[in-house]
């Protein structure tokens, strides 16, 4: 049986996929005996992510022989990645043209090594199982989860038809490239000490793991928020919600001026994704309305386990209530040292015009509620 899928990792799409899931789907099998990977760059965090994912999803991972072919071109690969991969049981790490590159200024290669491929199989003679993933993402947190990437999965599982055997044989013939370049590559243990020593001094360029979207991943609790949603809150230009009826927090005869977002929305407003106790204030922001008024307001983690944002009162915006309006928050820089957001309370028709502007959008209904939240990019 032959399967082929195209994966797109983009937090601005819903649903989205992750390169990490695609790799696991390609090579994850109880029949997996050998895995080979070739990537341009690797980070310690990315190496750990993949190892943990395959450990959790593939029973044979501890007993699988692993080959990791990596470059140190331009100094982008972290020494921690080489060290981590080397310590995974039954692993061997080699560096493409490593002995040459390590002697060059800024680790400039004579030929850039830039593939991203993972393939696994049962053994060289059997056609019971073979899987591969070829994509754009490196073995990094950005490449596996947070960046915008794409790739193609191909997988063969028995029973395999004669026609599928023909396609598999052609694929294996192409992948003979890997064996040839593996033989020429340098064992990592002959390079790693010098590389780790020279890299800080060699003016290597910025690392993709320094991207803000990757840093946020290190703060999130797996039990509190979807990592994809976290990345969306971090990257969105605007967020919105449809609360229908706001809580009358100002008294039963006055319209409410507080709104609740799902946990993680504090990231959009510039605060940490880390868990905090109930009724903890994350901090203060400035909300600016269309008439030009600016209001300092608080963002906090409520005892209902949602993010509470205090709003200007409706009367200040010439409205009787915020009920049944779309509440829209858009990034607007800084004011008096605090992060500022344009705040609008729109009718359904007005919000439709915002959507028609062609912004990329993701929308989600809140579980157990008619309310929706969304991200505009």
pLDDT value at residue 362: 84
More confident residue, 291 or 61: 61
Beta bridge partners of 66: 35, 91
Are 174 and 264 contained in the same domain?
no
Are 197 and 302 contained in the same domain?
no
H-state helical runs in 227-341:
227-235
Q: Give the contacts of 179 (CB within 8 A, at least 6 positions apart).
A: none
Q: Domain with 354 in it: what CATH number?
A: 2.40.330.10
Are 50 and 109 contained in the same domain?
yes
pLDDT of residue 56 exceeding 70, the answer is: yes
Q: Which two tokens stand for residue 318?
A: 């010439």
pLDDT value at residue 111: 87
pLDDT value at residue 200: 87
Q: Domain with 48 in it: what CATH number?
A: 3.30.870.10
Are 206 and 229 contained in the same domain?
no
Are 153 and 228 contained in the same domain?
no
Are 79 and 142 contained in the same domain?
yes
Are 44 and 105 contained in the same domain?
yes
Are 252 and 118 contained in the same domain?
no
Mean predicted confidence (pLDDT) in 355-373: 79
Ramachandran quadrant class, 148 (left: phi over 0; alpha: psi -120 to 50; beta: rest) = beta
DSSP per-residue string spanning 96-112: TTHHHHTTSGGG--SS-
Q: If we measure between CA atoms, which residue out of 38, 20, 21 comes closest to residue 119?
A: 38
Of 216, 231, 251, at which residue does a domain stop? Answer: 216
H-state helical runs in the chain:
19-27, 44-57, 79-87, 98-101, 141, 162-174, 176-184, 192-198, 212-217, 227-235, 348-355
Mean predicted confidence (pLDDT) in 5-17: 81
pLDDT band for position 371 (cuts 50, 70, 90): confident
pLDDT of residue 121 exceeding 60, the answer is: yes
Number of domain units in the chain: 2
CB contact at 8 A, 80 and 44? yes
Place of tokens 């509470």: 308
Beta bridge partners of 280: 301
pLDDT tens-place string over residues 186-225: 999 999 999 999 998 776 555 555 555 555 555 555 446 7
Are 208 and 355 contained in the same domain?
no
Of 190, 216, 242, at which residue does a domain stop? Answer: 216
CB contact at 8 A, 57 and 27? no
Mean pLDDT lowest among 41-45, 195-199, 221-225, 371-375: 221-225
Domain that holds residue 30: 2-216
Mean predicted confidence (pLDDT) in 314-319: 93
Q: How far apart are CA 282 and CA 43, in angstroms?
A: 31
CB contact at 8 A, 331 and 238? yes
Are 6 and 31 contained in the same domain?
yes
pLDDT tens-place string over residues 237-276: 999 999 889 999 999 999 999 999 999 999 999 999 888 9
> 100: how many CB neighbours lie within 10 A of its CB?
15
Are 159 and 257 contained in the same domain?
no
Q: Which two tokens stand for residue 6?
A: 């195209």
Are 270 and 184 contained in the same domain?
no
Of 163, 185, 216, at which residue does a domain stop? Answer: 216
CB contact at 8 A, 25 and 153? yes
């Amino acid at each position: 049986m032959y399967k082929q899928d195209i994966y797109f990792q983009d937090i601005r799409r819903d649903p989205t996929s992750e390169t990490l899931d695609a790799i696991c789907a390609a090579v994850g099998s109880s029949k997996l005996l050998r895995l080979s990977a070739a990537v341009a760059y690797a980070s310690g965090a990315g190496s750990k992510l993949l190892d943990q994912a395959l450990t959790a999803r593939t029973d044979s991972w501890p007993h699988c022989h692993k080959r990791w072919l990596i470059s140190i071109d331009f100094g982008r690969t972290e020494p921690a990645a080489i060290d981590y991969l080397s310590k995974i049981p039954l692993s061997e790490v080699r560096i493409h043209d490593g002995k040459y590159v390590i002697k060059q200024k800024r680790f400039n290669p004579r030929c850039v090594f830039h593939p991203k491929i993972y393939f696994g199989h049962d053994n060289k003679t059997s056609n019971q199982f073979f899987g591969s993933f070829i994509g754009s993402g490196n073995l990094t947190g950005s490449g596996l989860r947070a960046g915008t990437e794409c790739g193609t999965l191909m997988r063969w599982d028995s029973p395999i038809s004669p026609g599928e055997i023909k396609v598999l044989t052609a694929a294996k013939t192409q992948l003979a490239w890997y064996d040839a370049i593996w033989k020429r590559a340098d064992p990592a243990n002959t390079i790693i000490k010098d590389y780790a020593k020279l890299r800080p001094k060699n003016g290597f360029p910025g690392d993709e793991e320094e991207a803000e979207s990757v840093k946020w991943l290190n703060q999130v609790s797996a039990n509190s928020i979807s990592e994809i949603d976290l990345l969306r809150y971090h990257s969105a230009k605007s967020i919105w919600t449809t609360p229908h009826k706001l809580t009358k927090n100002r008294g039963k005869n006055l319209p409410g001026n507080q709104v609740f977002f799902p946990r993680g929305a504090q990231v959009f407003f510039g605060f940490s994704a880390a868990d905090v106790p109930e009724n903890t204030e994350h901090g203060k922001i400035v909300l600016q309305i269309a008439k030009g008024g600016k209001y300092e307001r608080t963002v906090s983690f409520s005892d209902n386990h949602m993010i509470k944002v205090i709003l200007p009162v409706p009367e200040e915006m010439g409205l009787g209530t915020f009920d049944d309006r779309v509440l829209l928050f858009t990034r607007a820089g800084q004011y008096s040292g605090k992060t500022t957001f344009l705040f609008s309370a729109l009718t359904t028709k007005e919000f439709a015009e915002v959507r028609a502007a062609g912004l990329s959008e993701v929308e989600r209904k809140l579980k157990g509620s008619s309310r929706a939240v969304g991200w505009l990019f």
